[in-house]
Amino acid sequence: MADSSKFRLNGSEVAVTSAADTPLLYVLSDELKLQGPRFGCGLAQCGSCSVLVDGVELRSCVTPLSAVAGKTVTTLEGLPALHAASKGLAKVPEYTPLQQALIDTQAIQCGFCTNGIQIKATELLSKNPAPSEQDIRTAMNGHLCRCGTYPKIIAAIQQAARSMGGKA
């Protein structure tokens, strides 16, 4: 028997009918047809499925739908609007400073990890606008990139921090 759960997704209220114990990743991808969160390991080990729940990164592959009832979920698709809201911008940009930095540094190769990288880095920069390299390494430690672009990911996060007024 399907349950009905409501939560806020990328600025809009949504009601879904997946069972309460369905992994949030499946709800986002199968029921809501979002392509940002990706299935990698399914074991909370790689970070490719990450989303923000009330501003905190969670692995959606191991988070049941019931855990986000009434909460605010932000996926990759919602990051530009989240950035605009946090900075009081009148217009939602095409790319966030972080996304632009990932493009500039060519940190996106196959792109499979990039969803989780952006979610985690967004969380980091919201809490720590001027992270040190070690802060970035520590924050990103649980995000695996099979293409090995870690130095470029660090450079991108530093560029994004600088462009948003931090001094990383």
Pull the structure tokens for residue 67: 């855990």
Comparison of 42 and 166: residue with beta carbon closer to ligand FES: 42
Residues of span 8-47 touching ligand FES by CB under 6 A:
39-42, 44-47
Query: Does residue 120 contact residue 113 with C-beta atoms inside 8 Å?
Result: no
Least distance in angstroms from the C-beta of 43 to ligand FES: 6
The residue type at 120: K
**Distance between CA 60 and CA 24 in Å, rounded?**
5
Comparison of 44 and 81: residue with beta carbon closer to ligand FES: 44
Of 7-15, 81-89, 90-98, 139-147, the segment contacting ligand FES by CB under 6 A is 139-147
Least distance in angstroms from the C-beta of 141 to ligand FES: 13
Which x/- pattern, by CB under 6 A, does the window 76-115 give for ligand FES? --------------------------------xxxxxx--
**Distance between CA 45 and CA 21 in Å, rounded?**
20
Q: How do strand 72-74 and strand 5-9 relate by DSSP bridges?
A: parallel
Least distance in angstroms from the C-beta of 33 to ligand FES: 18
DSSP 8-59: EETTEEEEE-S-TTSBHHHIIIIIS---SS--S-SSSSS-TTEEEETTEEEE
149 binds ligand FES (CB under 6 A): yes
**Distance between CA 77 and CA 10 in Å, rounded?**
7
**Of the candidate residues 67, 147, 162, 163, the single one contacting ligand FES (CB under 6 A):** 147
Chain positions contacting ligand FES, by CB under 6 A: 39-42, 44-49, 59, 61, 108-113, 145-147, 149
